[in-house]
């Protein structure tokens, strides 16, 4: 079995639109939780979340591709290209078949779903975008990242709610260990601060309603907790076979040595 190391990171978060700015904000103890600005919250009970701000996808793709990809896919593309640059990894024809992409999402292209359902009801079925399925479906993210980076190895998307990114990275690790790839672009992405998602989670009493104290609302281990805080963003890792990484002179950030996955289900009364 191959040993697996991490050689690159890419981030777009509510703290910053790249690794450096997100890490600096974390080190300064800043919070990314604030008032939602992406839509009118006046009819909603929850007005805050970990919203991505001022993200510009055009450094990572041209404007035509921006229009043809949901914002969640744009985030995945950005973080993947950041991670490849951080790892100083060029995907050439020589290595492309050994580079895979596993990127998961809990919900996929929810922004596009909002827009297309509105178009369906207001303008009719003939006006639905021919790109709708590719923009909505959860494995659209690893698919478009593969296309835009040239990675031709294993390609797959995990969907396991809050455990999605952990499962995706773990399965990427297993893929390298068993020899099916030398490199994996792996991680997760979510763009779910939308009216329908926030209303649904709030109606099931899952979200905190501390609108008067958004930065103090996330308190999972406190006796006064009242729900979680919705966030959005993406984190992508470059995982490599240790010998492959050493042979190309890669900077090794850490070694991944284990992965487990269980279900915590119990019977309903």
Task: Express each pLDDT in 243-259 by its tens digit.
Answer: 999 999 999 999 999 99
pTM here is: 0.95
Residue 1 pLDDT: 84
Q: Please report, for the chain, the start and end positions of each structural domain, with discontinuous segments joined by +.
A: 4-256
Where are any strands of DSSP class E within 105-231? 155-156, 183-190
* Dist CA 240 CA 250 (whole Å): 9
Q: Inform me whether the pLDDT recorded for 122 exceeds 90.
A: yes
Q: Please report which helix (H) or strand (E) contains residue 116, including its range.
A: helix 110-123
Q: b vs e for 19-50, b when ≥16 Cβ sit within 10 Å of the residue's Cβ?
A: beebeebeeeeebbbeebebeebeebebbbbb
- Reported as a pLDDT band with limits 50, 70 and 90, residue 263 is confident
* Residue 138: DSSP 8-state: T
* Dist CA 136 CA 112 (whole Å): 6
* Residue 235: DSSP 8-state: E
Task: Express each pLDDT in 136-145 by its tens digit.
Answer: 999 999 999 9
Q: Inform me whether the pLDDT recorded for 266 exceeds 90.
A: no
Q: Quick check: 79 and 58 in contact, CB under 8 A? A: no
- The alpha-carbon radius of gyration of the chain (Å, integer) is 19
Answer yes or no: CATH 3.40.47.10 is held by domain 4-256. yes
| Mean pLDDT to the nearest integer, 223-248 | 97
Task: Using a pLDDT cut of 70, give the percent of the chain over it.
Answer: 100
| Mean pLDDT to the nearest integer, 3-9 | 98
| Mean pLDDT to the nearest integer, 43-70 | 96
Q: Inform me whether the pLDDT recorded for 269 exceeds 80.
A: no
Angle at 74 (CA atoms; ends 177, 81), nearest 5 degrees: 50
């Amino acid at each position: 079995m191959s040993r697996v190391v991490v050689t690159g990171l890419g981030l777009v978060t509510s703290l910053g639109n790249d690794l450096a700015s997100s890490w600096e904000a974390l080190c300064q103890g800043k919070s990314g939780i604030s008032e939602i600005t992406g839509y009118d919250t006046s009819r909603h009970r929850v007005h805050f979340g970990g919203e991505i701000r001022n993200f510009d996808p055009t450094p990572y793709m041209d404007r035509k591709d921006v229009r043809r990809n949901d914002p969640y896919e744009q985030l995945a593309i950005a973080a993947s290209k950041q991670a490849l640059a951080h790892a100083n990894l060029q995907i050439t024809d020589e290595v492309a078949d050994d580079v895979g992409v596993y990127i998961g999402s809990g919900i996929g292209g929810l922004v596009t779903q909002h827009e297309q359902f509105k178009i369906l009801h207001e303008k009719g079925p003939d006006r639905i975008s021919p790109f709708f399925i590719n923009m909505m479906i959860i494995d659209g993210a690893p698919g478009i990242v593969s296309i835009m980076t040239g990675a031709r190895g294993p390609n797959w998307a995990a969907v396991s709610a809050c455990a999605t990114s952990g499962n995706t990275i773990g399965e990427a690790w297993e893929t390298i260990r068993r020899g099916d790839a030398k490199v994996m672009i792996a991680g997760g992405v979510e763009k779910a601060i939308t009216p329908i998602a926030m209303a649904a989670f709030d109606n099931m009493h899952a979200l905190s309603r501390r609108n008067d104290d958004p930065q103090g609302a996330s308190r999972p281990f406190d006796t006064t907790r009242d729900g979680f805080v919705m966030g959005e963003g993406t984190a992508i890792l470059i995982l490599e076979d240790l010998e492959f990484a050493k042979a190309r002179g890669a900077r090794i950030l850490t070694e991944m040595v284990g992965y487990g996955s269980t279900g915590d289900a119990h019977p309903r009364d």
